């Protein structure tokens, strides 16, 4: 819980300064050129656990292949997984495909407008629902991702850890300018991604510096520009990515993407440093997630293919 109650949202003058900064410094991301709710939903699904600039490049290709929610709903999971290649976290692709089917079957092909209806869609959580509501429909709701949490938490309380999730969401909702919820959402994300970084924040270039509690606390304590807080424990050595299960799952999917629809691929050899038993275990996990199908007539060498729905 916060040590001090948060009585006021971000004041209007500071909101204006942030929006003015955004008008001149916004990242030129491709999906910001659209107001189509379906296209915005796709972009938000792609940006989960992926840097926005990287997601934007994949988004353009994906929208050419599936320009409407009806086109996506009519595709097979295999079609979607092939277009998703390179983004990772392939379960997001299947969740988006299932969402398209729900929108077509339940909402007459129109992306629902309310936060509650959006959050009921497969794979759509509180952040994505609010982001789509603000960006596509102009609703004054605050989408709180890791960047927004850090920016608002530092401005108002000196640290995002000072606010509980409930307090943070209330602060985010109360701070949204009623006439520009989309620009406000993008502006906080951009400040968090480019200026208000977790380590070595660029406070000198931030439009909120004059009213930011984090900046004031650091200057008062050190007399210098704010510095990132030191970690209480040393960072653990990173595990090589090619030894992880995520890497292995990706390589299995890459192999299956090369096969024509419906064609089985025998999983009969090690992949990188992963022995055959780990390959089979990863394949069974992918099948449980609905990403691939297995034909396990031969337990020693099961056959796999991308899910066909």
Q: What is the pLDDT of residues 168-183, one digit of tens each?
A: 999 999 999 999 999 9
Pair (215, 256) in one structural domain: no
Q: Taking the CB of residue 225, how many other CB atoms lie within 10 A of it?
A: 14
Residues 263 and 132 both lie in one domain: no
Q: Is residue 261 part of a domain?
A: yes
Q: Which of 222, 249, 275 is the last residue of a domain?
A: 222
Residue 41 is assigned to a structural domain of this protein: yes
Residues 213 and 273 in one domain: no
254 and 125 inside one domain: no
Active-site residue, 60 included: no
Catalytic residue among 8, 44, 117, 269: 44
Q: Is the per-residue pLDDT at 300 higher than 50? A: yes
- The closest of 109, 70, 76 to 290, measured between CA atoms, is 76
In this structure, are 201 and 287 located in the same domain? no
Q: How many domains does the chain have?
A: 2
Say whether pLDDT at 261 is over 90: no
**Token pair 């409407």: residue:** 68
Helix (H/G/I), strand (E/B), else coil: 292:
strand
Q: Quick one: 296 and 198 in the same domain?
A: no
Name the token pair of 179. 């006439």
Higher-pLDDT residue of 106, 50: 106
CATH number at residue 251: 1.10.10.10
Which DSSP state fits 99? H
* Residue 193: CATH number of its domain: 1.10.340.30
- Same domain? For 127 and 268 the reply is no
Domain boundary among 222, 250, 266: 222
pTM: 0.82
Q: What's the pLDDT tens digit per position in 16-69?
A: 999 999 999 999 999 999 999 999 999 999 998 788 888 998 999 999 999 999
Q: Based on the domain organization, do 108 and 252 belong to the same domain?
A: no
**End-to-end alpha carbon distance in the chain:** 45
Helix axes 181-194, 126-137, angle to 10 degrees: 130
DSSP symbol at 178: T
Does 228 fall in a domain?
no
How many Cα atoms occupy the beta-carbon half-sphere of 186 within 13 Å? 25
pLDDT for residue 1: 41
Q: Is 137 a domain residue? A: yes
The token pair at 256 is 């299956």
Asked if 26 and 175 sit in the same domain, the reply is yes
Is the same domain home to 190 and 300? Answer: no
What is the mean predicted confidence (pLDDT) over 276-289? Answer: 89
Question: Does 19 share its domain with 65?
Answer: yes
How many CA atoms, within 13 angstroms, populate the side-chain half-sphere of residue 143? 30
Residue 202 lies inside a defined structural domain of this protein: yes
What angle is formed at CA 82 by the lines to CA 77 and CA 83, rounded to 5 degrees? Answer: 100
* Residues 158 and 217 occupy one common structural domain: yes
Tell me how far apart the alpha carbons of residues 93 and 96 are, in angstroms, rounded to a whole number.
5
- The pLDDT assigned to 298 comes to 62
Residue 151's domain comprises 12-222
């Amino acid at each position: 819980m916060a040590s001090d109650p948060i009585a006021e949202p971000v004041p209007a003058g500071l909101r204006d300064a942030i929006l003015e900064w955004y008008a001149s410094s916004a990242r030129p991301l491709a999906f910001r050129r659209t107001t189509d709710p379906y296209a915005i939903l796709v972009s938000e699904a792609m940006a989960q656990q992926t840097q926005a600039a990287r997601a934007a490049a994949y988004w353009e290709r994906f929208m050419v292949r599936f320009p409407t929610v009806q086109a996506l709903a009519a595709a097979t999971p295999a079609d979607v997984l092939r277009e998703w290649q390179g983004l990772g976290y392939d379960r997001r692709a299947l969740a988006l495909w299932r969402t398209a089917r729900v929108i077509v079957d339940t909402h007459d092909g129109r992306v629902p407008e309310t936060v509650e209806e959006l959050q009921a869609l497969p794979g759509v959580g509180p952040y994505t629902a609010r982001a789509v509501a603000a960006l596509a429909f102009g609703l004054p709701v605050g989408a709180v991702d890791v960047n927004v949490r850090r920016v608002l938490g530092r401005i108002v309380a000196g640290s995002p850890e000072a606010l509980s999730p409930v307090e943070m969401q209330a602060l985010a909702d109360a701070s949204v300018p009623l006439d520009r919820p989309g620009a406000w959402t993008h502006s906080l994300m951009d400040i968090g991604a480019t200026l208000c970084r977790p380590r070595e924040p660029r406070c000198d270039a931030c439009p909120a510096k004059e009213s930011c509690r984090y900046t004031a606390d650091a200057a008062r304590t050190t007399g210098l520009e704010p510095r990132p807080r030191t970690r209480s424990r040393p960072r653990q050595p990173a595990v090589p990515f090619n030894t992880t299960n995520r890497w292995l799952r990706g390589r299995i999917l890459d192999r299956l993407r090369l096969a024509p629809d419906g064609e089985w691929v025998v999983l009969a050899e090690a992949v990188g440093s992963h022995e055959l038993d780990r390959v089979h275990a990863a394949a069974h996990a992918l099948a449980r997630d609905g990403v691939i199908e297995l034909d396990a007539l031969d337990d020693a060498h099961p056959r796999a293919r991308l899910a066909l729905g």
